[in-house]
Amino acid sequence: MEQTIWQKEEAHLKQISALLKQQIEVQTNHLKKQKGDIVEERTQASSEFNDISGESAIQFSQMLQTMQLREREYVQQSEQLAKMQILYKSPYFGRISLENEQGDREHLYIGLSTFREPVTDDVLIYDWRAPISSLFYENKVGQARYQIPDGEYISVTIQGRRQYKVKYDELLQVLDADIYVGDEVLQSLLSDTAKEKMKSIVATIQSDQNIVIRSSNKDNLIVLGPPGSGKTSVAMQRIAFLLYEYRQTMNARSILLISPSDLFNDYISNVLPELGEENVQHTTYYRLLRDLKLTHYKAETSYENIERLQLATDEGREHYAFKGSHNYVKQLLNYIASIKKAGMPFYNLKVEGKLFVSAKKLTELFYEKYGALDIDFRLKKIRNVLLEKVGQQKSKDRKVLMKELKAVNAYIGTDKEIEQQVNEKLQKRYGKLESTIQQLGFVNINKMYINSLGFEKDDLFMQAIQEATTETLKNRILYYEDLAPIMYLQAIVKGLYANNTIKHIVIDEIQDYSYLQLLTIKAMHPKAHYTLLGDKNQLVHPQMKDSLAGPLAKHFKVVELNKSYRSTNEITDFMSAILNNTTTQSLGVSGEKPQVIETVTVTDTLAQLVKVQFKEQDSFVILCKNKLACEQLYHELKPLVPQLQLVTEEQKVYMKGILIMPGYMAKGFEFTTVVVADANAGVYTEKMDAYLLYTMASRATRQLFFVTGGTLPKALAHIGEQYYRKEENI
């Protein structure tokens, strides 16, 4: 590259950095003064308005509005300062050279947020999410166009594209990338992404990823792609784009991210703040129970479910499969439709052991008095009747209690204190009943669920499912496969738990969800649009899910990514060979082939691997099939590897260093080195284990090892020796 180009770029960077630094200083000083003014106004208000009545109340109200406006301005300007501070660390990462239809030429620099010249207000750095910035991610030069917010397309000619690696005011790399964005820079910027938490990828977004990221909020998307194709990163950039593009109508509280675990939520927690955005709401499917007021159950988590199903009988797995099937969804929907006419189960409501209202009476109200209404409206009408009845009964009891307490000869308090005692007694007597009625708890959801399992089918299989489920519900236990039916009934029948503030939901690892789970999420968030991300092959559950089949795809636009950027070419080739997958294009770097190590001293072999392979800045994980195997190996290996850390489901914070965890928990993460410590035929015996091993292997970015006692699992034994190295008795 000509020295003059480097010098020009270096001078431009120093000019921009100096302006950023200057504006950061100006804004910091302005905010300090503004903060002092706000504190002074508050102090003045508290001293002047001890009595806020009459005319003083009007003056106080006016002052309060002014103060609130100032404080909102302070918050907004603080956010702007935070964005400038992030931008100062790396002002921009790209440039496009354009010629418009009038023949005017200009260079547009692209960064994490917009930065304007303080005097002229000219844009010096364009936010990567701005409409014109989309041209940077196009896979071409020449004629192009971009869409502005009013829907109009602007035609331009892309004359050149340049990428940078920048740190503060230091120019580290300049690369002209006229034909293809990303590949060369990917190798340096993403040389090994597994050393820490997930980062943003805005500098290396590819054209196929860009289409997903910039899709309209109203587009319901399913994004499928192999390991390392950037699905989760794309999801986070999509959230950042939506927050920018729809900033007038959406904020961080308008978006919900549903991910596999709390640990994974922590792993991705840096991405949005890196982009200058507030983290959105995040949860797991399991935690949605709280939103539906179902915390009185002891509910099984997804990881506990995997452990149980690994050891389950054929009958237990068949029960699980049915509850998550499309056939059961149809059966459940038909059952719900049928209770409009007959069969709605209710509880008897009691107060201190005495019948308050019978299930028979509730049934009469439901079908006779309010039978013309929708189910949830009938229940809410009944709620009003019951609350009125409670109010009448409390009024009667209040008079009796007041009379009794005032008739006591001894002094028991003033009239006000006696009234307080009466209120406490009434609360103790009726509080739980009132809460039950408010939440429509007189509906027997458990009975509805049991009835739905056998609806219009009375064979031995259904009877067995009903009996087994009745037993667990009686003990207030919810298996993971029972969550969706119970949650769906709670949401649809009662109609109490709709969250209309959520406008977009992003769900990662969609292949782990049943169709009914997705219907439940939809019922809870009726105003939301969706971005679903997954991989049909990354399956860690012993039982196949079918969410990506059937009616779901009909309502979604499906986008398939087929390029993998994470692992070395050799690791990608090996994991593709596990499932005979030939569609993944590896754009990684070259490295060593995965290694199969035969040994009879597993613990010593693992300790030696750690000693030879682990470097302080790397991430290193040992994987076993299940929790018990991890715990046993951890206790054996810990004396030899003192820094070893056991990762369990209770872990909430992402850890670095040398880890050991079940293979199913590793999905979504990436590690410099992965060691599968129990790669034995006797451990991975089932057909679905091929998918589990594929997922475990795909976590490695640079080094992959399989430790075996001699006989590899069937899923690995068929792989040609050209894909791996073999070593005995290390």
Tens of pLDDT, residue by residue over 565-579, are: 889 999 999 999 999
Q: What does DSSP say about strands 153-167 and 170-176: parallel, antiparallel, or unpaired?
A: antiparallel
For position 729, what pLDDT does the model report? 67
Question: 225 a known binding residue?
Answer: yes
Q: Note the pLDDT of residue 381.
A: 97
Residue 280: phi and psi, rounded to 5, are -80, 175
Tell me whether residue 227 is annotated as binding: yes
* Mean pLDDT, rounded, for 660-673: 94
Q: What is the CA radius of gyration of the chain?
A: 31
Query: Residue 182 annotated as binding?
Result: no
Which structure tokens are listed for 74? Answer: 């302070």
Assess whether pLDDT exceeds 80 at residue 175. yes
At 527, the amino acid letter reads K
- Contact 666/623 with Cβ under 8 angstroms? yes
Residue 687 marked ligand-binding? no
Phi-psi region of 247 (alpha: psi -120 to 50; beta: other; left: phi over 0): alpha
Is-contact 706 679, C-beta < 8 A?
A: yes
Grouping H, G, I as helix, E, B as strand and the rest as coil, residue 660 is strand
The span from the CA of 431 to the CA of 426, in Å, is: 7
Give the type of residue at 263: L
Average pLDDT over residues 451-463: 90
List, in sequence order, every residue forming a beta bridge with 221; answer none if it has no partner.
Answer: 531, 557
Output the CA angle 667-237-588, nearest 5 degrees.
55
231 is in an annotated binding site: yes
Does the structure show a pLDDT above 70 at 194? no
Residue with tokens 């928990």: 665
pLDDT class for 176, splitting at 50, 70, 90? confident
pLDDT of residue 2: 55
pLDDT score recorded for residue 480:
94
pLDDT at 220: 93
Q: Give the residue with greater pLDDT, 642 vs 292.
A: 642
- HSE-up of 640 (CA within 13 Å, CB side)? 15
Crossing angle of helices 480-494 and 302-311, rounded to 10°: 130
Q: Which pLDDT belongs to residue 547? A: 61
pLDDT score at 492: 95
pLDDT band at 189 (very low <50, low <70, confident <90, very high): very low
Please say whether the dihedral angle defined by the alpha carbons of residues 573, 575, 580 and 581, taken in this order, is positive or negative. Answer: negative
494/33 Cα distance (integer angstroms): 52
User: Any known ligand binding at 228?
Assistant: yes
pLDDT greater at residue 186 or residue 93: 93
